[in-house]
Amino acid sequence: RRLARRMRGCAPPPWLLLLALLVRAGASLLGVGSRAIQSPWRLSPPRASLSGERRTTISLDIDLGPSGEPKGVNRINFTPLLPDSEIFVLELGLPLGMLIRVVDDGGGSIAGTWFQNTRVVVEDALPGFSACKRVKKGDLVRAVSAYRPVMVAPEGFSAWRQLTSYTPVGEMQLRRLIFKTEGASYEDVRDAIKSHNEGNRIATLVIERARTNNFPDSQNANTAGGAGAKNQ
């Protein structure tokens, strides 16, 4: 009783109130995070693994060739999305004959700017096309090359001279680029592959493939725009 009277007569210390606010805020943030990973195609924990496992970054050297921007070999880093997988590069000639599905992994906002998380999942590859027997159902397309017009400076270009003259230097040329597919729509991937008709007709794809083939039924996957698998 004496202890109870003392407790009623004493205000809680400031650090205890601060701790309660932090715990409440943390629970709210966890609730937002759980809603962002509702996709049934999520085969692994979020980037910060629930098991505490550190996600290894994999570096790939991708040769964009003499028409690349930038030219030659470029090193690009990827963090695996699957718990046990391999990531590799494929060079496929058009047409690919590849069926893909864009899976919505939710999104969020950073400093007032909205970002969307998506994954491009291979559903199948049609017989007689270049992707047949090269990609498998459940593969993730992590990056794809594309041809885009880019302002290219001439040889011997001086950035300082351009800065002091206030005159743009260079001309628009068709260049081969590569972009990651995180956040890409179906149209983004389709247009990137289609753009190779204006180039060498060879598309570069970065594929992530699970070492075990335990994929859920594709009919349960969320698809961007409510459409089914589409051919590329």
Q: What is the pLDDT of residues 206-230, one digit of tens each?
A: 999 998 754 443 333 333 333 334 5
Evaluate whether residue 100 is within a structural domain. yes
Domain range for 117 = 58-231
Domain membership of residue 28 (yes or no) is no
10 Å CB burial of residue 205 (0-12, 13-18, 19+) is buried
Residue 54 has pLDDT above 70, yes or no: no
User: Which of 5-14, 164-173, 193-202 is predicted least confidently?
Assistant: 5-14
Q: CATH no. for residue 86?
A: 2.30.42.10
In the prediction, which pLDDT does 217 show? 39
* Residue 227 maps to a domain: yes
Q: What integer is the mean pLDDT of 97-113?
A: 84
CA distance 50 to 176: 38
Peptide bond into 70 cis (omega under 30): yes
Q: How far apart are the C-alpha atoms of 112 and 94, rounded to whole Å?
A: 40
Report how far residue 168's alpha carbon sits from residue 131's, in angstroms, rounded to the nearest whole number. Answer: 42
For the chain, what is the radius of gyration of the CA atoms? 24
Domain count, the chain: 1
Task: Decide if 99 is inside a domain.
Answer: yes
